[in-house]
Each structure stands twice: as structure tokens, then as C-alpha cells.
């Protein structure tokens, strides 16, 4: 039954791809394709619910979907969870695409875009279901290449540049994965994962280290880990918004799944490797959130925030990997449970709120035709329901209560804060340092999302585009609203399940309680406390505030207030930019042009300003320059003299003979 | 040099003796008490709006701050923003250009607020009454509490008017 449902979901996304091509000339092509994708998502969600119920009854089994000698697809509890995320994301984004894409039918070639979307979904589902390296790599490549076509869908120069960067990183990452997985599998791509794990156990440590590093590079480059992240904020926002939602909300989770899967194939992970994962995760979280704060492009800011959250998830995975090597003694089981709970809850929440935010931002862009935060504003008055949904999503992206993200991150904070008390001083200190970075990241995330919401929705419109934005259609409001409701409920419903030993088995998890004693709290208690304090504040206000309130114009000293007098996104992030100016390099150029040639005092001054990434300037550009310099020096060999070429051939021959002897 | 010294000695002091009338002092003292009673130790803060006067009223109001009247010692102060003001003093007939600004300044004041029309122009429109450029007296736009007649009223009369305004506000 489950196999049929999972298989049906898999086939339906393939059918969507076929429908996109077959109906290319029909006006209903896009609607049919996305209806099939929604159906595929619902099938998959039904299967996930069924699987979860089975697990809750204590039946742990692998669901075989399809198996031949060449391909094997099955679902394990781990991939089942990530599949549920994919199907949830696909259902929401395809629902949204039904309202979103018709507005862009002249902008995109819809049949090709929908074809690529369907193949992308097929690739993600295939990657998660893959039962051996061969199927995994084929599906992974399908997903990567289809994503390229999503990124370049609008055909603009910016998209093509971003797409080229993406494709380069994706192919380098694929090569790393190919070599890494084959190294682990002992050269047999058709071996099942169990056989790969068996083969990996027999490998020498150096080969295992090599495979681990290659897999970290492969999956890390897809997940946007520093320093392989630079393509992500350029590429994800260029895709149409429903595709951006899939890329940022869901595809990154597939990369996380791949990493967890491949680490599970290794017999043991030494402490230093786990430290590498933690350090990369923390660096990604920090650089991601830092750039999210200073970024002025709404969609790119969300992409930076994705890097932040993937960094947190990798930090959690790294801590899990480090645990067996730490002298935490009896706490090990509780710590494992808490960190696993964090990875599960945070992956779920991130895919929900990030898809929701991308869809909502896409809806704003569809109405105002700009992604520049400094040209938006004042939208809350016109779209109250939509702004409410956006606010809920922004709150959850900033991990504030009562959204699910708060409870998810709580599960990361509590082991770091109190979990390592009984451990040696060195590991307590390490945990404290990690906690400090995670806390800094959390604070900056609040800053970033306060900026995003307030600049987009509050105040007055900063441009005529924002001022003349029309009514927000219901079809573009509902999917982000659904994501907002789900992410608000996830913490309330899942946290109590994770917290109580007698209920945690309902989720099919093999541990007692994810909440450490001393860090427990009731999620409903948190909500009621928030509601109660809000009610108390309202009552206090009603009791003591002056009754008569006069609403008059703001005193403007005689000069009319304009939208340009408001706080801008650039101004809001200025303190952070100043504080971290060594890491966020900003380039200011002042151009002075005299209006009259003879008088230098009367001049037009233009200030242009841009931020630049630390890694772009410090790593990518030097590497690029070095590559070009080496190429230029090698080119000197090709001087056109036949005698020189003959001498080279002769030298090579002599060299080979000497080597052979 | 010696001749100059001799001339100075011969001429002696020719300055007129300054006769300080105690009257202003008494009036001011009453005003200070009234302000203290109304504002509880704070100064009475005045925002002045010239709604289209000849500037004669402004000269007289400025004179309140000179060394002779020194209205600061009675607890009067002129402020820049209506947000900080207790009293709005208006001079001149309200011209069409200034009508909106006058109402905006009044709206921006916190309650309780006192409006004082200074000078005949502000009270009746003066010689510009019924002009095409004039909306009308201040009372046609704002509820005027106290009127200070005169074209222009002398600083002393202004002080009396302010005393009446403060007393009327205390009674309210």
C-alpha cells in the first residue's frame, strides 16, 4: 500500500513532465502540470502519514518502491522524513504556481519551465528514494541540471551569469560526489547502501578521509556551506518564485539528507572531522545571516538566510557526529535525542517558512515589479491578511516564539547550554563557544527579519510601483498563509510529542525524550503566556490610558513629509555594516561632474555604493586570477615553432622511458 | 589730553535717571504666581504663529524678551514646536496661505491648549478685513480664549493679556 502510494507520487511527477511536453500548445498546460504535481505531493503526503503511523506502532521497515539490478528505490525512516518535506513543499509551491505563473506567461516559456520543474521534483524524489549510489547519482544529476533551467528561466543576462556559476559548482560538486561515493563503495555503483557501508568499513583511514572530504564538498556546495556558498544567493533568487521556494526550501534539505546518509555509511567519524563540520556550519550560519542583514534585494536576502539555516542544521549534525567522541557519559543518549529533535524540527520548519517567504515575496514582486527593499513599503495597509501571513513567516524565520522555529532552535540551545555540564572542561568550553556563535546568529536573524518586514510592509510606499500595487489575489495569499499556519503549529504540536517520553514514540523515533531535564517547557504554556501578557498589556492600557485620543497629521515643521524621509533598508543595516566592515566589504564611489566646465564648485555628485562578500574578494577572485595567470604562462609553450614542439615530444618520450625503466 | 579731561570734568554726568516703574514687576509677579499655579513649577511655553501680520506684533512680542521686560523671569518661554507649547499666540488676519499652517500648528499642540489672538488684525481682521487674501479673524478657524487688542499692543498689554489667559485656563 505504502509502496503504491510512494510509487504513485514518483510516477505522477514524471507524468507532470510528460504532460508539460504533450500539452505544450494547450492553454491549460501549466494548470494540468501543476495539478499533477499537487496530486503527486498529496500521494506522497498520504504515504508519509501512513509510514509515520506504522512507525508509531513500532513497525520499523524499509518500504520497497521499485527494484531491478540497475535501479533500486526504497524508502527508509530517514528518507521518509525528507520525502515528506519534499511533498509538502511541492504541494504548496504548485498550488501557488497555479495563481503565479499565468501572470508571467509572456515572461517565461511555460511548457519548458514546467517541464524543468517536474523533472526537478522527480530528481529530488528519486534522490531521496535511491537505494544505491547509481540511482542516487543519476537522480541527483537530474535534479541539479533541471535546477539550472529553473534558474535561467527568464533568460536575462543576470540569470545566465548566475546559472553558469550554479552549473559550474553543481558539476564540481557532482564530480566530488561521484568520486566520493565510488570510493566508499569500492567501485561498485550498484551495491546497496548496506553493502556500501560494509565496503567502507574495510577501507584504509586515508581513503575514508578522502571520501568524507569529497562528500562534504559535494553536499556542502549544494547546501551552500561556506566557502562554497557564493553561487547560492545569486542563483536561487533568479528562478521564478515558486521555483526559488523549491530550491531554497526543499533542495537544500535533499543535500542535508545526502550528507546524513553518506556520513551514516562511514563506520565511525573521528572528532576532528566532526569539528570541521561544526566549524563550517557555524561559519555558514554567521556569514549567511550577516549578508541577510545587509542585503537590500528581498529574494537574495532570503537566499542568504537559507545559508544561515543550513549552517545551523549542519552544526547540529556536526554536534551529533562529535558526541560519540566526547566524554559526556550518561548524558549521551539525552544529548543525541535533543540534537536529533533539533535537526528534524528545524529542517521541517525551514522548508515551510522559507518556501512560504519565497512565495510571499514572489507575490509582492508580481504586484510591485521590484525586489529592491528601498523601493517598497506601505503594503500592510492594503494587504492586511497577506501581511499577517508574511509577519508570521518572518517571525518564524527569526526563530521567535510561538512559531515552530523557536522550539526547534530551543532544542539546539539546551544541549549547548546545559548538556555538557558533566563533561570535561574542554568540551564545556567548546559548547559554550558554539552557543555564543549560535546566539549571535539568532540575534542577527531577528535584526534581518525586522528589516525585511518593516521596510516592505510598514511606513509609506517608497516608489510609485509600491504605491500603485493592486489588490493581492487570494490564490497568491493562501499558499504562504498555509505555510505560516503550518510553521506556527509545528512547534505547538511536535514539541510536546518530542518532550514527553511516552509520546515520543508516536513520531517513530528511537529515543526517550528530546528535551533535557531542566530545559523543559510547555509549548502551549509559552503561547498562553504570550497571549496572557498581551491581554494584560491591553487591559492595563484600557484601564490607565487617557480615553480621548486625537488623531491628527504628524507635525512636519511646515515641510511636507515624504517617503524619502523614512528609514531605509540601507540605513537600518548601517550599524551592522559598520561593525562588521572587515567582513562585509562595502565599496563607495563618489563621482563629481562639474555642471559648468569653468566653475569647479557647481558640480553634480553621485554616490554609488555596493557591498561585496569577503569570500568573493578574498578567495574566489585570487583563485580566478591565479588560474588565468597559470594559463597565460602555459600558453607560452604554444609558440608556433615546429622544432620546439618536436623537442617537447622528444623530452616527453625520454621522460616516459626513464620512468618506465 | 588735558583739555579733554577738563571738558569731561566741566560737563559732568548728563545721562537721564532711569525710572523703573514697579508696575510691570507687580504684574509680572502676579503672572509668575498664576503660571506656577497652572503649570506646577514649569514655565508657560508659547508657540507664536504669524498668520499674516505687519510684524508690528512680533516686534512687541520680541520686546518681552529684552532686558527691560525680561519675561523669562515670570516663567514665560517661546518654543519652536507646537508639540511643546501650552499657548498658541496668533497675530495678523489669517491669510489664505497661512490658514492651513495655523490649523496644523493648533492640531499639533497637546491638550489643554490656550489660543490667544494678539492685535486687532488677529481679532477682527483689521484694515485687511474682507480682503480676498484673508480667510478672516483667528476666531473663524480656532476657538480663541483671550483677545489682546491694540495695533500693536504694547508688551505690557501683552503681559496683561497672558495673565488673563492663564487665569481663564486655571478656572477651566
3-class secondary structure per residue, A231-285 = CHHHHHHHCCHHHHHHHHHHHHHHHHHHHHHHHHHCCCCCHHHHHHHHHHHHHHH
**Dist CA A334 CA A499 (whole Å):** 11
Angle between helices A271-294 and A298-322 (to 10 degrees): 160
Residue B3 falls inside a structural domain: no
Tell if the CB–CB gap between B81 and A552 is shorter than 8 Å. no
On whether both A528 and A652 belong to a single domain, the answer is: no
On whether both A407 and A465 belong to a single domain, the answer is: yes
Best mutation site among B104, B106, B110, B142 for testing chain A: the one with the most A CBs within 10 Å?
Answer: B104
On whether both A352 and A429 belong to a single domain, the answer is: yes
Residue A187 pLDDT level (bands cut at 50, 70, 90): confident
For chain B, the straight-line distance linking the first and the last C-alpha, in angstroms and rounded, comes to 69
Got the DSSP string for A22-62? Answer: HTTTSTTHHHHHHHHHHHHHHHHHHHHHHHHHHHHTT----
Q: What does the pLDDT average to over A170-186?
A: 94
Distance between B7 CA and the closest CA of chain A, angstroms: 58
pLDDT at residue number A54 = 86
CA angle A325, A330, A333 (to 5 degrees): 75
Distance between B102 CA and the closest CA of chain A, angstroms: 10
- Quick one: what percent of chain B has pLDDT higher than 90? 59
- Count of structural domains within chain A: 2
CA B158 centroid distance within chain: 5
**Dist CA A478 CA A221 (whole Å):** 33
Q: Which of A33-42, A140-149, B152-161 has the lowest mean pLDDT?
A: B152-161
Q: Is A594 helix (H, G, I), strand (E, B) or coil?
A: strand
Residue B167 falls inside a structural domain: yes
Q: What does the pLDDT average to over A161-182?
A: 94
On whether both A337 and A451 belong to a single domain, the answer is: yes
Residue A542 falls inside a structural domain: no
**Dist CA A404 CA A486 (whole Å):** 9
Residue A216 falls inside a structural domain: no
- The larger pLDDT score, comparing residue A321 to residue A517, is at A321
Q: Say yes or no: B29 contacts chain A, CB-CB below 8 A.
A: no
pLDDT at residue number A511 = 59
Q: Which of A403-412, A517-526, A601-610 has the lowest mean pLDDT?
A: A517-526
Residue B12 falls inside a structural domain: no
* Residue that the C-alpha cell 540601507 belongs to: A570
Tell if the CB–CB gap between B83 and A555 is shorter than 8 Å. yes
What are the φ/ψ torsions at residue A173 (nearest 5 degrees)?
-65, -40
pLDDT at residue number A518 = 59
Q: Of A344, A252, A259, which is closest to residue A302 (Cα–Cα)?
A: A252
Residue B8 falls inside a structural domain: no
Distance between A542 CA and the closest CA of chain B, angstroms: 20
Q: Say yes or no: B42 contacts chain A, CB-CB below 8 A.
A: no
Residue A366 falls inside a structural domain: yes
CATH of the domain at B57: 3.40.50.12280
Residue A421 has pLDDT above 80, yes or no: no
Q: What does the pLDDT average to over A176-188?
A: 92
Q: Which of A125-134, A361-370, A636-645 has the lowest mean pLDDT?
A: A636-645
- Tell how many helices (H) and how many strands (E) occur in chain B: 6, 7
**CB A181, CB A262: distance < 8 Å:** yes
- Quick one: what percent of chain A has pLDDT higher than 90? 57
Model confidence pLDDT, tens digit, residues A490-515: 888 888 777 766 666 555 565 556 66
On whether both A417 and A521 belong to a single domain, the answer is: yes
pLDDT at residue number A512 = 58
Could you tell me which chain B residue has the CA closest to the CA of A559?
B101
**Dist CA A149 CA A243 (whole Å):** 10
**Mean pLDDT over the full length of chain B:** 89
Closest partner residue to B101 (CB to CB) among A550, A552, A558 is: A558
**Dist CA A355 CA A349 (whole Å):** 10
Q: Which of A45-49, A67-71, A358-362, A576-580 has the lowest mean pLDDT?
A: A67-71
Model confidence pLDDT, tens digit, residues A222-237: 999 988 999 999 999 9
Give me B62's grid cell. 520680541
Q: Say yes or no: A557 contacts chain B, CB-CB below 8 A.
A: yes
Distance between B133 CA and the closest CA of chain A, angstroms: 20
Q: Is A420 helix (H, G, I), strand (E, B) or coil?
A: coil
* Residue that the C-alpha cell 497577506 belongs to: A386
Q: What does the pLDDT average to over A115-132?
A: 95
Residue A12 pLDDT level (bands cut at 50, 70, 90): very high
pLDDT at residue number B146 = 93
- Count of structural domains within chain B: 1
Q: Taking CB atoms and an 8 Å cutoff, what residues of chain B touch A549?
A: none
pLDDT at residue number B14 = 77
pLDDT at residue number A330 = 67
Residue A365 has pLDDT above 90, yes or no: yes
Q: Which of A305-319, A539-553, A580-594, B34-48 has the lowest mean pLDDT?
A: A539-553
Residue A500 falls inside a structural domain: yes
Residue A620 has pLDDT above 80, yes or no: yes
On whether both A401 and A493 belong to a single domain, the answer is: yes
Examine the fold and report which residue of A521, A551, A578 is the final residue of a domain before the chain moves on: A578
What are the residues whose beta carbons fall under 8 Å from the beta carbon of B169, sequence distance 6 or more?
B38, B112, B114, B145
On whether both A532 and A628 belong to a single domain, the answer is: no
Q: What does the pLDDT average to over A388-414?
A: 91
Tell if the CB–CB gap between B82 and A552 is shorter than 8 Å. no
Residue A378 has pLDDT above 60, yes or no: yes
Where chain B has pLDDT below 50, the residues are: none
Residue A481 belongs to domain spanning: 268-371+382-537+568-578
Give me A4's grid cell. 503504491
pLDDT at residue number A164 = 94
Q: Say yes or no: B107 contacts chain A, CB-CB below 8 A.
A: yes
Residue A58 pLDDT level (bands cut at 50, 70, 90): confident
**Dist CA B85 CA B79 (whole Å):** 7
Residue A364 has pLDDT above 70, yes or no: yes
**CB A583, CB A595: distance < 8 Å:** no
Task: Write the CA distances from A253 to A100, A125, A313, B70, integer angstroms.
Answer: 24, 12, 9, 76
Task: Write the CA distances from A390 to A354, A384, A454, A477, A491, integer angstroms.
Answer: 11, 10, 11, 9, 18
Tell if the CB–CB gap between A552 and B101 is shorter than 8 Å. no
Closest partner residue to A553 (CB to CB) among B83, B107, B111 is: B107
**CB A51, CB A75: distance < 8 Å:** yes
On whether both A431 and A528 belong to a single domain, the answer is: yes
Residue A255 falls inside a structural domain: no
Q: Of B115, B113, B119, which is closest to residue B157 (Cα–Cα)?
A: B119
Residue A530 pLDDT level (bands cut at 50, 70, 90): confident
On whether both A516 and A634 belong to a single domain, the answer is: no
Model confidence pLDDT, tens digit, residues B88-131: 999 999 999 999 999 999 999 988 899 999 999 999 988 998 89
Residue A136 falls inside a structural domain: no
Residue A441 pLDDT level (bands cut at 50, 70, 90): very high
Tell if the CB–CB gap between A555 and B81 is shorter than 8 Å. yes
Antiparallel, parallel or unpaired: β B134-136 and B94-95: antiparallel
Q: Say yes or no: A550 contacts chain B, CB-CB below 8 A.
A: yes
On whether both A514 and A449 belong to a single domain, the answer is: yes
Tell if the CB–CB gap between A555 and B101 is shorter than 8 Å. no
Q: What does the pLDDT average to over A284-308?
A: 94
Residue A585 burial class via C-beta count within 10 angstroms: exposed 0-12, middle 13-18, buried 19 and up: middle
Residue B89 belongs to domain spanning: 19-171
**Mean pLDDT over the full length of chain A:** 89
Amino acid at each position: 500500500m505504502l509502496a503504491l502510494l510512494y510509487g504513485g507520487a514518483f510516477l505522477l511527477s514524471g507524468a507532470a513532465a510528460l504532460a508539460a511536453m504533450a500539452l505544450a500548445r494547450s492553454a491549460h498546460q501549466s494548470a494540468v502540470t501543476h495539478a499533477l504535481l499537487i496530486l503527486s505531493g498529496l500521494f506522497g503526503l498520504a504515504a508519509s502519514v501512513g509510514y509515520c503511523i506504522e512507525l508509531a506502532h513500532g513497525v520499523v521497515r524499509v518500504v520497497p518502491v521499485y527494484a531491478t539490478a540497475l535501479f533500486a528505490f526504497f524508502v527508509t525512516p530517514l528518507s521518509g522524513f525528507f520525502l515528506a518535506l519534499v511533498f509538502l513543499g511541492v504541494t504548496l509551491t504548485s498550488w501557488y504556481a497555479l495563481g503565479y505563473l499565468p501572470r508571467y506567461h509572456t515572461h517565461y516559456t511555460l511548457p519548458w519551465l514546467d517541464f524543468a520543474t517536474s523533472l526537478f521534483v522527480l530528481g529530488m524524489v528519486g534522490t531521496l528514494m535511491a537505494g544505491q549510489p547509481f540511482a542516487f547519482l543519476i537522480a541527483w544529476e537530474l535534479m541539479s541540471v533541471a535546477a539550472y533551467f529553473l534558474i535561467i528561466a527568464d533568460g536575462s543576462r543576470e540569470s545566465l551569469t548566475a546559472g553558469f556559476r550554479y552549473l559550474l559548482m553543481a558539476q564540481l560538486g557532482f564530480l566530488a560526489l561521484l568520486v566520493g561515493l565510488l570510493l566508499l563503495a569500492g567501485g561498485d555503483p550498484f551495491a546497496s547502501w548496506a553493502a556500501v557501508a560494509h565496503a567502507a568499513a574495510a577501507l584504509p583511514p586515508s581513503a575514508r578521509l578522502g571520501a568524507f572530504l569529497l562528500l562534504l564538498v559535494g553536499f556542502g556546495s549544494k547546501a551552500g556551506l561556506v566557502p562554497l556558498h557564493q553561487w547560492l544567493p545569486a542563483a536561487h533568487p533568479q528562478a521564478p518564485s515558486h521555483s526559488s521556494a523549491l530550491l531554497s526550501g526543499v533542495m537544500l534539505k535533499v543535500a542535508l539528507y545526502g550528507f546524513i546518509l553518506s556520513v551514516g555509511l562511514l563506520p565511525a567519524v573521528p572528532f576532528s572531522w566532526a569539528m570541521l563540520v561544526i566549524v563550517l556550519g557555524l561559519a555558514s550560519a554567521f556569514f549567511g545571516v550577516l549578508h541577510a542583514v545587509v542585503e537590500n534585494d528581498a529574494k537574495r536576502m532570503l537566499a542568504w538566510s537559507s545559508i544561515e539555516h543550513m549552517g545551523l542544521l549542519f552544526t547540529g549534525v556536526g554536534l551529533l557526529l562529535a558526541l560519540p567522541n566526547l566524554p559526556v557519559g550518561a548524558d549521551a543518549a539525552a544529548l543525541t535525542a535533543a540534537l536529533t529533535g533539533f535537526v528534524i524540527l528545524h529542517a521541517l520548519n525551514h522548508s515551510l517558512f522559507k518556501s512560504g517567504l519565497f512565495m510571499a515575496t514572489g507575490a509582492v514582486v508580481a504586484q510591485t515589479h521590484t525586489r529592491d527593499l528601498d523601493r517598497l513599503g506601505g503594503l500592510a495597509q492594503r494587504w492586511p491578511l497577506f501581511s499577517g501571513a508574511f509577519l508570521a513567516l518572518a517571525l518564524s524565520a527569526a526563530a521567535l516564539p510561538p512559531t515552530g522555529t523557536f522550539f526547534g532552535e530551543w532544542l539546539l540551545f539546551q544541549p549547548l547550554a546545559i548538556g555538557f555540564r558533566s563533561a570535561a572542561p574542554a568540551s564545556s568550553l567548546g559548547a559554550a563557544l558554539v552557543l555564543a556563535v549560535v546566539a549571535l546568529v539568532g540575534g542577527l536573524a531577528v535584526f534581518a527579519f525586522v528589516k525585511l518586514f518593516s521596510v516592505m510592509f510598514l511606513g509609506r510606499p517608497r516608489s510609485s510601483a509600491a504605491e500603485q500595487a493592486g489588490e493581492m489575489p487570494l490564490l497568491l495569499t493562501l499558499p504562504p498563509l498555509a505555510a505560516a499556519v503550518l510553521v506556527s503549529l509545528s512547534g505547538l504540536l511536535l514539541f510536546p510529542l518530542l518532550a514527553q517520553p511516552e509520546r515520543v514514540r508516536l513520531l517513530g523515533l528511537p529515543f526517550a525524550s528530546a528535551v533535557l531535564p531542566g530545559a523543559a517547557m510547555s509549548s502551549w504554556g509559552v503561547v498562553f503566556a504570550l497571549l496572557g501578557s498581551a491581554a494584560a498589556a491591553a487591559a492595563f492600557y484600557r484601564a490607565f490610558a487617557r480615553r480621548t485620543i486625537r488623531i491628527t497629521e504628524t507635525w512636519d515643521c511646515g515641510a511636507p513629509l515624504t517617503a524619502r524621509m523614512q528609514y531605509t533598508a540601507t540605513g537600518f543595516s548601517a550599524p551592522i555594516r559598520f561593525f562588521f566592515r572587515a567582513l562585509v566589504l562595502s565599496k563607495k564611489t563618489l563621482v563629481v561632474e562639474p555642471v559648468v566646465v569653468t566653475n569647479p564648485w557647481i558640480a553634480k555628485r553621485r554616490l554609488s555604493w555596493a557591498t561585496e562578500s569577503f569570500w568573493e574578494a578574498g578567495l574566489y577572485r585570487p583563485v580566478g586570477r591565479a588560474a588565468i595567470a597559470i594559463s597565460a604562462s602555459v600558453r607560452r609553450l604554444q609558440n608556433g615553432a615546429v622544432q620546439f614542439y618536436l623537442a617537447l615530444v622528444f623530452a616527453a618520450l625520454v621522460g616516459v622511458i626513464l620512468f618506465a625503466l | 589730553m588735558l583739555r579733554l579731561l577738563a571738558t569731561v570734568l566741566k560737563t559732568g554726568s548728563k545721562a537721564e535717571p532711569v525710572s523703573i516703574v514697579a508696575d510691570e514687576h507687580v504684574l509680572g509677579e502676579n503672572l509668575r504666581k498664576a503660571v506656577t499655579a497652572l503649570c506646577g513649577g514649569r514655565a508657560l511655553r508659547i508657540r507664536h504663529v504669524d498668520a499674516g501680520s505687519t510684524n508690528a506684533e512680533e516686534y512687541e512680542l520680541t520686546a518681552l524678551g529684552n532686558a527691560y521686560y525680561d519675561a523669562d523671569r515670570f516663567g514665560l518661554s517661546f518654543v519652536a514646536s507646537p508639540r511643546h507649547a501650552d499657548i498658541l499666540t496668533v497675530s495678523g488676519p489669517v491669510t489664505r496661505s497661512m490658514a492651513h499652517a495655523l490649523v496644523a500648528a493648533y492640531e499639533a499642540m497637546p491638550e489643554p491648549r490656550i489660543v490667544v489672538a494678539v492685535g486687532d488684525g488677529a481679532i477682527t481682521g483689521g484694515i485687511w478685513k474682507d480682503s480676498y487674501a484673508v480667510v478672516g479673524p483667528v476666531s473663524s478657524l480656532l476657538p480663541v480664549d483671550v483677545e489682546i487688542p491694540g495695533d500693536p499692543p504694547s508688551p505690557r498689554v501683552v503681559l496683561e493679556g497672558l495673565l488673563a489667559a492663564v487665569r481663564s485656563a486655571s478656572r477651566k
